Structure 1
Amino acid sequence: MSHTTSASRRRLLVACAATLALPGAVRAQSDGNTLRWGYIGSGRSPALPSGWALAHGQLPRELQALGITTIRTHAFPNGPDLNEALLAGALDVGIYGDTPAVVARSRSPSSVLIGIETSGMNAWLLTPRDGVKAVAELRGRKVGVAVGSYMHRYLLGTLKQAGVLGQVSVVYLLGKDAEPALERGDLAGYAAQIELGPLLASKGYPVIDEAAKHPTLRGSSVIVATDKALDRWPALPAAWHRARGAALQAIRRDPAAYHAFHARTTGFPLAAVQASYPLEQFPDQPFPATGLQLLAHTKAFLLEQKLVRQDFDLTQWRGADRTLAKG
């Protein structure tokens, strides 16, 4: 496991350097009117409620009042990639999984949790078509996952519950490479994220477990901002949540329109998007109680497994008095 983590870190540092070299990112870094937003995905723009708010104008209108005239979005394949860019000062806001966000906060106090975008995300543990039938049968075998992601935490948690943690070889593999690896039989299993999990299941890859069966192993997507961004735009969290709230009202009025927008934005089939994003996963409040409970479980598990070494107070990370009280 330590070898995998070390190799992954080297890859992430290279990815971060490439991000910083992008001309648009460099120009945005020195422009006080530009907000730089990192998100996870292969689409050209973000999805989720904040993505809807961007695409339909609610977010640009709110941010314009703060003096933000340009929003630059940058897609990342995985949370640790986004972490490195955020910690390097190449982003102002990030929306991504709870696990890498907790890891980033444990490394540096420079990020502030300003909201929870989704809460209760599922993950799917799939096998080759003639693969094992139960998690315990993965003992001595190889399982892939995007290391450092919320799916990684789910995988370790379900392996622990099955009594085989430490007896399974966990290897780094991004979602785009999962299907070929399962088809060839290179892996005994793959822990897949939202959208990808239902898509692979629809192609006949059996699901032997999922996070929905383990309430404390479900994931969240969080919204974080840097200290520097909040110093520049103190009212940013309040403006963001007004825009997100307006987007949620539109989404709840027409869920079919939202799912169609999400499918167009991400390129995933509509059925996979519908299976991944029931609207109850989109909280109306910035800090819903269930979302905070999931974050607490995430932090406790990562500390227990020594995947993070520095504990911190979730209330202080929220910075609620500093952020949502303004604007």
Structure 2
Amino acid sequence: MIDVNDMSHNNTCSLNRRTLMTLLGAGSLGLGLHAHAQQKEKVLRLGFIGPSKTHKPASGSGWALAHGHLLRELAPFGYNDIATYEFPNGPDLNEAFLSGALDVGIYGDTPAVVARANGLAGKLIGFDNIGMNVWLLTPVDGVKSVKELEGQVVAVALGSYMHRYVIGLLKEAGIQKNTRVVYMLPRDGQNALEKKAVAAFAAPINTGPLIASKGFPVIDQAVDHPSLQGSSVIVASDKVLEQNPGLPQAWHRARLAAIRDIKRDTEAYYRFHADTVGFPLEAVKASYPLSQFPEEIYPSRGLQALEEVKSFLLGENLIRKDFPLKSWLVS
């Protein structure tokens, strides 16, 4: 169990579904927040997808947090701290959002759209990355093409942007009905490939280039199917937005300052990112080209990508309720 005192002092935490439910059931999270209130602190609770050696995010918002841009922009709203919570995947982060345990979440477009379609009370306040790749890897001496996956097992983190890529790819190849898709977290992918337990594994950013560098073949990538690439979105709860209407603009200013820093000294950024996530520098560089960092709150290519995500999920009956994208944006 996570020590509430550690949460108060370090303001970092790694959560999975079981830990989150334990905290909520025991009231520990409430006690932690009560302690903050007694200290007259106003803490923003930020969730993100790991891995992270520091239990803090990387990318544009991560740089903004680490270098003070984000807290400086939030200070006028009374915030004097940002508590970060690391999750293994988007569905777990969604549960935290639905329980009221988070104010802001940074995670993949697919689970975010699923949450919005299922009634999550929140708004899209920006994009951290657009055009994220997926690497489809196989065991050494495994299948040589996507078509050869018919009747085989493909592993991926279900509910993720990689999952959408896999389903879309199998459908394009005409083998979706005869190919089995199983759940697997990125951290387990290499071991499964080594043991030839699966015919292919769909790896996300960082993990994909790292596994490929160890000699595992890549038979397909999302960059070859632009509509199946992913985005990392920033979502804020309705409650925090009602209390702080200017938060989306403040977050954008902080990210914009971070992006300017990143473009001035790209190597420093990549070192920071690699140190944060614990992946080799070359894997990070291959995963995060500067073209992924949008400078607008709602770039047209990002909104178009979300429309494609929504249409895809509706077409596959992965969500049942449509919603106008404009209703998700901050006016």
Which of 138, 152, 157 lines up with 1:127 in the alignment?
Answer: 138
- Equivalences, count: 309
The percent of aligned pairs where both chains have the same amino acid is: 56
Show the counterpart of 1:14: 18
Q: What is the CA–CA distance in structure 2 between the aligned matches of 1:106 and 1:217, rounded to whole Å?
A: 19
* 1:23 shift after superposition: 4.2
Does residue 111 (structure 1) correspond to residue 122 (structure 2)? The answer is: yes
Show the counterpart of 2:10: none
Counterpart code for 1:176? R
Does residue 41 (structure 1) correspond to residue 50 (structure 2)? The answer is: yes
Counterpart code for 1:40? I
* 1:231 shift after superposition: 1.0
**DSSP 3-state at the match of 1:310:** coil
**DSSP 3-state at the match of 1:166:** helix
Q: What is the CA–CA distance in structure 2 between the aligned matches of 1:288 and 1:22, rounded to whole Å?
A: 40
Does residue 171 (structure 1) correspond to residue 182 (structure 2)? The answer is: yes
Gaps of 5+ in 2: 1-15
Q: Conserved in 2, the CA contact under 8 Å of 1:28 and 1:35?
A: no
Distance 1:147 1:19, change over 3 A: farther
* 1:149 shift after superposition: 0.2
**DSSP 3-state at the match of 2:141:** coil
**DSSP 3-state at the match of 1:42:** coil
Which of 19, 23, 28 lines up with 2:33 in the alignment?
Answer: 28
* 1:26 shift after superposition: 5.3
**DSSP 3-state at the match of 1:131:** coil
Cα deviation, 1:171-216, whole Å, max 9, x if unaligned, reads 1110111111110010000000000000000001100001000010
Q: Conserved in 1, the CA contact under 8 Å of 2:50 and 2:57?
A: yes
Counterpart code for 2:18? V
**DSSP 3-state at the match of 1:306:** coil
Show the counterpart of 1:311: 322
Q: What is the CA–CA distance in structure 2 between the aligned matches of 1:288 and 1:37, rounded to whole Å?
A: 23
Q: Conserved in 2, the CA contact under 8 Å of 1:119 and 1:291?
A: yes
Counterpart code for 1:17? M
Q: What is the CA–CA distance in structure 2 between the aligned matches of 1:247 and 1:232, rounded to whole Å?
A: 25
* 1:13 shift after superposition: 5.1
Cα deviation, 1:64-107, whole Å, max 9, x if unaligned, reads 11101111000000011101101110000000000000000011
Q: What is the CA–CA distance in structure 1 between the aligned matches of 2:88 and 2:205, rounded to whole Å?
A: 13
Superposition TM-score, scaled by structure 1 size: 0.91
**DSSP 3-state at the match of 2:126:** strand
Q: Conserved in 2, the CA contact under 8 Å of 1:28 and 1:36?
A: no
* 1:18 shift after superposition: 4.0
Alignment RMSD: 1.6
* 1:34 shift after superposition: 1.1
Show the counterpart of 2:8: none
Show the counterpart of 2:306: 295
Q: What is the CA–CA distance in structure 2 between the aligned matches of 1:318 and 1:45, rounded to whole Å?
A: 26
Gaps of 5+ in 1: 1-11, 322-327
* 1:22 shift after superposition: 8.6
Counterpart code for 1:258? Y
Q: What is the CA–CA distance in structure 2 between the aligned matches of 1:152 and 1:293, rounded to whole Å?
A: 19
* 1:28 shift after superposition: 3.4
* 1:235 shift after superposition: 1.0
